[in-house]
Each structure stands twice: as structure tokens, then as C-alpha cells.
Amino acid sequence: MNKEIPIFFSIDDGYIPCLGVAIKSIQENASENNNYHIYVLYTSMSEKNIENIKTEFAKDNFTIDFYDIQKNVEDKADTLSVRLRDYYSNTIYYRLFIQNEFPQYDKALYIDSDIVLVDDIAKLYNMELGDHLLGVVRDGVVEYGPEILREYVKNFVCVPLEQYFNSGVLVMNLKEMRKAQIEERFLYLIDKYNIDTVAPDQDYLNVLCQGRTLMIPESWDKMPDFCGGYPDINELHLIHYNMFRKPWHYDDVAYQEAFWKYAKQTSYYDVLQDALKSYPQEKKEADFKGAEGMNTYCSAIMTNKINFKTIYDDAVAKFGEV
């Protein structure tokens, strides 16, 4: 009997073309010996987009389900949104609800939709986690980016730099996450404090799961920006077009050829090409100003008297050690 590989995305209508590219890249590198079950978490999406994805990517060993998570977040929407900024939406938090929304799984993958696979994603799923809550990759933006980000992680998130991870690629030990009540801790803390953060879902996950994460190779979450080097694509498994320089907005992104290789095999190629050609200069300028403004933003956040050490201690006092 073929092994089932559950893979979760969380998106809104705007990311449907990118989701199509991500799914195509997974399919092109998949093994016939596995069954891949893709779940797309959403709260508002057109039936046309849902049907297009299901029809275009129908395949014998692939199941694609769209899961409306509205009932889980409708009473939390205002709380979840209050600290969101720029390009973030509530979808970034949905990965935190997988553990309880899908009790049939003890293990699953979560990946952002701005990725392409260049290897079989089953290899990522098959990594042994032991009793770790997550298998993760160190965050390249923090590791190779501005010094202020490292200060932010050390002094505000209060997680050792070598343990701070990117939340866009997660091997999730759902069984252990349920035992540790990760979702319940998150909801308690965001409702009580809802402190300002640079990376809302990522910072909470780093704090709540600290000490119980397994670091996996960077080649499973390779970021073209702030990446500290560009190994040959044959040495990589997954490319994550993190931050704002997306290949459908900029034409000088590292490893963009992998994105367009799979995009050409989908019905979304022309839409993505149009997005690249029509991305206005004022938006590019705003992108770079936003990146430059991160220094000021980090500095402002760090003046807050309450940091993640404070709220972590509160969670431990209420729920016990993770």
C-alpha cells in the first residue's frame, strides 16, 4: 500500500497561480510509490479557482482538497489581524491550526506557496523527527541579512540565533504538537498580548516550539535573497522565493529558471508573465523602501517593555513546559 504524504498550503485567491506552479513542481518530482494528499487552507476563495486547480492537476496518485477554515478563525479574525502589516493576511496563521483541524494525521508537511520543488517532497516528509515538534530550516534572512534582525531575534524573540527558523517549510509532528498544546498556547498569548512582531506566525512558532525543533539542511528551504551563496540547483531540493523579490515581479531573481520551468507547464504561465511585465516601478520602489524600513521597524518593536520571553514564561506558567 502506498504511503500517504499530507501536504498543506494556506492561500487566498491572489496566490492561485503560484499554487499551481508549486503543485506542478511537486508532481513532476514525485514518486509513483506514494500518494500525495494536498490540502489548501482558505477562508474565502472563488469556486472557479478551486475547480481550475482540481481539474488541471488531477492525477492518479494526487488528491487535492480545499479546506475552508473559516469556522476555526471567524471568532479570532480581529485578534489575528490587528498586528498584520504590508503583504501579510490571516492565512499566515493557518499552519498553527493544522494539528487540531486534522486529527487523522500524526505528521504532515506545511509549505508556503511561493516555492518550487526540484526533488521528491516525500524525502522531506520521511525525515525522522523523534519527539521534536518540527523539522525546520534556519531562516536565511536573519542569518545573512541586516544585523538589526539578529538583534531582534536575540533580544526580542529571545531565541538563540542558531535555532531561529523560517516557518515557510515545516515538517510537523502533529501528534507531539497536540500533546504540547501549541495551538492553545498560541491563541492564549495572541489574545492576551498580541504584541507587534516582524514575522507574526514565525516568531510565535519559534518561541512556542523552542528547544524541540530539528534543524534540517538549508537545501530544503533555499532562499534566493539573503542566502549567503548560490550552490548549483542540482544540490538543492526546494527553492523558496521568500521576501518581496518574486520571479513573477522581478526578472533577476536567483533560481528563477526553476520557477519558469514549471510555470510553463501550467495554464497560469501567461498570467504570471503578464504580472512580471506589468509590475510597476513604483511598487518596486515601495518594495525596497519596505526592506530598508525594516531596520527602523525592528528598533521600534524592541522598545516594547513586553517581549517574547515575557509571554513565553506566561504560557509555561499556564500550560507547563513544552
Which carries the bigger pLDDT value, residue 135 or residue 243? 135
How large is the C-alpha radius of gyration of the chain?
19
Q: Read off the pLDDT of residues 125-139 as tens digits, 9 standing for 90 and up.
A: 999 999 999 999 999
Q: What are phi and psi of 224, to 5 degrees?
A: -65, -35
**SS3 state at 198:** coil
Question: Is residue 170 within 8 Å of residue 136, measured between CB atoms?
Answer: yes
- What number does CATH give the domain 3-319? 3.90.550.10
CA-based nearest residue to 161, from 149, 146, 175: 149
Most confident among 103-112, 140-149, 282-291 (mean pLDDT): 103-112
Res 78 pLDDT > 70: no
Q: What is the pLDDT of residues 197-214, one digit of tens each?
A: 888 899 999 999 999 999
pLDDT band, residue 194 (cuts 50/70/90)? confident
Pairing of the two strands 62-68 and 34-42: parallel
User: Within 13 Å and on the Cβ side, how many CA atoms surround 250?
Assistant: 18
Per-residue pLDDT of 80-117, as tens digits, reads 544 434 444 567 789 999 999 999 999 999 999 999 99
pLDDT tens digits, 253-281 = 999 999 999 999 999 999 999 999 999 99
Task: Give 143 or 241, the one with higher predicted confidence.
Answer: 241
Query: Which pLDDT score is estimated for 91?
Result: 78
Secondary structure of 240-252 as H, E, C letters: ECCCCCCCCCCCC
Domain positions in the chain: 3-319
CA angle 108, 39, 249 (to 5 degrees): 105
Query: Average pLDDT, stretch 145-169?
Result: 95
Helix then strand count (H, E) for the chain reads: 16, 9
Question: pLDDT over 70 for what percent of the chain?
Answer: 93
What does pTM read for this prediction? 0.94
- Does residue 175 carry a pLDDT above 90? yes
| SS3 (DSSP) at 254 | coil
